[in-house]
């Protein structure tokens, strides 16, 4: 018995190493330390599977030989910080504090910048010449999915994510100066990727619903489309509107007061708790639901599995999926909101959920709602933002307003102004 115990102590146990790919992060090597009885995680700093496999084999060899493997290297501060170390710090310390969609977009843009510049250190990316090169390569279409040049507006968005990361590094005192690059000039028209749709086009979308989702689910999808058009909410916001669920967007009616829409900070882009007026058309839509049924989620578009005669796998779809189906409905109705661009290879864009938000903003403008009220309903910091993205108006409607205000009063055939029965000019 004593010999058996002695032998077990002398045997060197080698832990099993596995490769893990966390969401939107480089591959990690993970194993359970036999001494500390805890999981060790080591970032490979790479999204290349072959490179991760090579690092795994090297780690297994070190573990077999009993060499130190803990990721205990000292983090180098400043411009000489390894780029992979900076990415990990930025991800853990900053991107975990922002909205999920923002974090995903930032990771994707930084991935592209990394593949173009192939940097070794943080300073390699922050150098003005490197940023100018990156901007030029992005414009020319390097690593573009369509193998075409990117639009200036698209590149401006890519560079904004890169500069945001470098500005964050500057705040950590890892860069001596804030990054600088000559900004790309973009037209204001480029800001709106789509347009408001007309009433006839919206009727066309409603008519096209059954062809996309089937007859059984059609009414629930039409109700969702009407909700987007009447509320001016974004699709992820509309899918978080409920009658009574905590920490969701809720309509509130109070005696003697106008109804409002209560929006918690976590539910919107500006990250502010807010109440906005409940638009009359949206209120009428909500009141179609009988009082006794006003509980739970308000908008519940039904599964497309019903169309195929299959069982429903998910009771309630997420906002991204609903948005994709609405875009299919816009395509089925053949409502083109943005023409194809042969230069960039960007295809035609069909009516989407966001175009219905634009439609609401445009309707408010055409109805004569004051600009500041429209901005409040759309939850923008300024009227300029609302006007540029959601309520641009058009020359014809502006001309009608000017005509009503400035058109000369009618005159009789002799050239004198017409007058009323008292002789006063009309």
Q: Is 320 helix (H, G, I), strand (E, B) or coil?
A: helix
- Dihedral over Cα of 127, 129, 130, 132: its sign: positive
Q: Considering only CA atoms, which of 203, 209, 211, 163 is closest in space to residue 183? A: 163
Assess contact for 18 and 48: CB atoms under 8 A.
no
- Residues 6 or more apart from 279 whose CB is under 8 A from it? 230, 231, 232, 360, 377
Q: Considering only CA atoms, which of 166, 182, 180, 181 is closest in space to residue 79? A: 166
Q: Dump pLDDT digits (tens) for 14-65.
A: 788 889 887 667 788 888 877 767 778 787 777 778 788 888 888 887 787 7
Q: Dump pLDDT digits (tens) for 305-333.
A: 766 555 556 678 889 999 999 999 999 99
Identify the bridge partners of residue 252 per DSSP, sorted by sequence position: 260
Task: Return the C-alpha torsion angle 68, 72, 75, 81, nearest 10.
Answer: 30
- Phi–psi pair at 126, nearest 5 degrees: -75, -15
Res 386: pLDDT: 64
Residue 397 pLDDT more than 70? no
Tell me the pLDDT of the chain averaged across its residues: 83
Q: Alpha-carbon distance 200 to 388, whole Å?
A: 24
Q: Alpha-carbon distance 218 to 307, whole Å?
A: 10
Mean pLDDT of 141-154: 88
Residue 11 pLDDT more than 50? no
Lowest mean pLDDT among 94-108, 279-293, 354-368, 393-407: 393-407
Mean pLDDT of 60-77: 66
Which pTM was predicted? 0.64
Q: Does the domain at residues 200-397 carry the CATH identifier 3.40.50.10360?
A: no
Residue 166 pLDDT more than 90? yes
HSE-up of 117 (CA within 13 Å, CB side)? 27
382 CB-contact burial (10 Å; exposed 0-12 / middle 13-18 / buried 19+): exposed
Residue 7 burial (CB count, 10 A)? 9
Res 305: pLDDT: 72
Q: Which ranges constitute the DSSP H helices of 14-127? A: 49-65, 83-93, 100-117, 122-126
Q: What are the structural domain ranges in the chain?
A: 17-65, 83-183, 200-397
Task: Return the C-alpha torsion angle 132, 136, 139, 143, nearest 10.
Answer: -100
Q: Alpha-carbon distance 44 to 55, whole Å?
A: 7
- Residues 6 or more apart from 205 whose CB is under 8 A from it? 197, 225, 329, 330, 333, 335, 351
Q: Alpha-carbon distance 167 to 243, whole Å?
A: 42
* 405 or 27: which leads in pLDDT: 27
């Amino acid at each position: 018995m004593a010999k058996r115990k002695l032998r077990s102590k002398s045997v060197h146990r080698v832990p099993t190493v596995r490769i893990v790919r966390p969401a939107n992060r480089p591959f990690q090597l993970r194993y359970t330390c036999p001494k500390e009885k805890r999981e060790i995680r080591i970032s490979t700093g790479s999204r290349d599977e072959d490179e991760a496999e090579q690092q795994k084999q090297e780690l297994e060899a070190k573990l077999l030989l009993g060499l130190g493997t803990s990721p205990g290297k000292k983090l180098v501060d400043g411009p000489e910080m390894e780029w992979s170390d900076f990415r990990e710090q930025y991800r853990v310390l900053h991107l975990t504090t922002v909205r999920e969609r923002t974090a995903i977009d930032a990771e994707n843009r930084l991935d592209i910048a990394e593949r173009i510049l192939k940097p070794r250190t943080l300073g390699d990316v922050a150098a003005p010449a490197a940023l100018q090169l990156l901007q030029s390569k992005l414009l020319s279409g390097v690593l573009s999915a369509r193998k075409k040049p990117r639009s200036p507006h698209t590149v401006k968005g890519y560079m904004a994510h890169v500069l945001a990361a470098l500005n964050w590094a500057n705040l950590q005192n890892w860069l001596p100066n804030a990054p600088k690059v000559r900004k790309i000039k973009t037209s204001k028209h480029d800001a709106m990727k789509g347009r408001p749709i007309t009433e006839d086009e919206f009727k066309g979308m409603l008519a096209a619903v059954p062809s996309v989702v089937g007859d059984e689910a059609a009414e629930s999808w039409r109700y969702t489309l009407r909700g987007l058009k009447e509320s001016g909410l974004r699709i992820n916001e509309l899918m978080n509107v409920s009658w009574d669920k905590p920490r969701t967007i809720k309509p509130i009616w109070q005696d003697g007061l106008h109804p409002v829409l209560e929006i918690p900070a976590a539910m919107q882009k500006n990250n502010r708790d807010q109440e906005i007026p409940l638009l009359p058309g949206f209120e009428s839509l909500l009141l179609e639901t009988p009082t006794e049924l006003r509980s739970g989620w308000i908008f519940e578009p039904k599964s497309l599995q019903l169309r195929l005669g299959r069982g429903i796998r998910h009771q309630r779809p997420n906002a991204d999926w609903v948005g994709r189906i609405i875009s299919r409905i816009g395509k089925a109705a053949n409502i083109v909101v943005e023409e194809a661009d042969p230069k960039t290879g960007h295809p035609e864009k069909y009516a989407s959920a966001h175009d219905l938000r634009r439609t609401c903003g445009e309707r408010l403008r055409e109805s004569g709602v004051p600009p500041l009220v429209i901005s409040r309903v759309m939850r923008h910091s300024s009227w300029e933002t609302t006007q540029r993205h959601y309520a641009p108006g058009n020359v014809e409607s502006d001309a009608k307003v000017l005509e009503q205000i400035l058109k000369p009063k009618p005159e009789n055939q002799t050239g004198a102004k017409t007058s009323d029965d008292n002789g006063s000019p009309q």
